[in-house]
Amino acid sequence: MTSDHSHLPSETALRAKALESLLVEKGLVKPEALDAIVETYQDKVGPQNGAHLVALAWTDPEFRRRLLADASDTAAEMGYFGRQGEHLKAIENTPEVHNLVVCTLCSCYPWTVLGLPPVWYKSAPYRSRAVSEPRSVLDEFGTELPENVTVRVWDSTSEMRYLVVPMRPAGTEGWSVEQLRKLVTRNSMIGVEPALPPEQVAP
Amino acid sequence: MRGGHDLGGRQGFGPVDPEPEQEPVFHDDWERRVFAMTLATGMLGQWNIDQSRHARERQHPVAYLEQSYYENWLAGMERLLIEAGLISEEELRSGTAEAKCGKDLRIPDAEAARKILTSGGPAAREIEAPPRFAVGSEVFVRRRHTSGHTRAPDYVQGCRGLVRGKHGAHVFPDTNSSGDPQAHHLYSVEFSSRELWGGDAESFEVLIDLWEPYLALADDNGA
Q: Is residue B23 part of a domain?
A: no
Per-residue pLDDT tens over the stretch A158-180: 999 999 999 999 999 999 999 99
A21–B13 C-beta distance less than 8 A: no
pTM: 0.95
Q: What's the structural domain count of chain B?
A: 2
Domain boundary among the residues B62, B85, B119 is at B119
Q: Is residue B11 part of a domain?
A: no
Q: What's the structural domain count of chain A?
A: 2
Residues B107 and B138 in one domain: no
Catalytic residues of A, by residue number, are 103, 106-108
Domain that holds residue A25: 10-42
Question: What parts of chain A have a pLDDT lower than 70?
Answer: 1-9, 202-203
pLDDT greater than 50 at residue B222: no
Contacts of A115 in chain B (CB under 8 A): 25
B207 touches A: beta carbon within 8 Å: yes
Residues B37 and B69 in one domain: yes
Nearest-by-CA chain B residue for A72? B122
The Cα angle at residue A133 between residues A129 and A137, in degrees rounded to 5:
70
Q: Is residue B150 part of a domain?
A: yes
Per-residue confidence (pLDDT) for residue A6, from 0 to 100: 52
Residues B137 and B102 in one domain: no
CA–CA distances in Å: residue A154 to residues A69, A119, A158, B152, B223: 17, 19, 11, 14, 27
Interface of B with A in 132-171 (CB under 8 A): 151-153, 155, 167, 170-171
Domain that holds residue B38: 29-119
A79: Cβ–Cβ under 8 A, 6 or more apart, which residues? none
Taking only Cα atoms into account, the Rg of chain A, rounded to an integer number of angstroms, comes to 19
Per-residue pLDDT tens over the stretch B35-88: 999 999 999 999 999 999 999 999 999 999 999 999 999 999 999 999 999 999
Residues A104 and A155 in one domain: yes
**CATH number of the domain residue B186 falls in:** 2.30.30.50
**CATH number of the domain residue B109 falls in:** 1.10.472.20
Per-residue pLDDT tens over the stretch B1-23: 999 999 999 999 999 999 899 88
Contacts of A119 in chain B (CB under 8 A): 17, 19, 23, 27, 69
B84 touches A: beta carbon within 8 Å: no
Domain boundary among the residues B119, B150, B184 is at B119
Residues B215 and B166 in one domain: yes
Per-residue confidence (pLDDT) for residue B74, from 0 to 100: 98
Interface of A with B in 115-174 (CB under 8 A): 115-116, 118-120, 122-129, 131-137, 140-141, 150-160
Per-residue pLDDT tens over the stretch B157-211: 999 999 999 999 999 999 999 999 999 999 999 999 999 999 999 999 999 999 9
Q: Is residue A52 part of a domain?
A: yes
Residues B168 and B182: their CA atoms lie apart, in Å, by 13
Residues A20 and A107 in one domain: no
Per-residue pLDDT tens over the stretch A23-45: 999 999 999 999 999 999 999 99
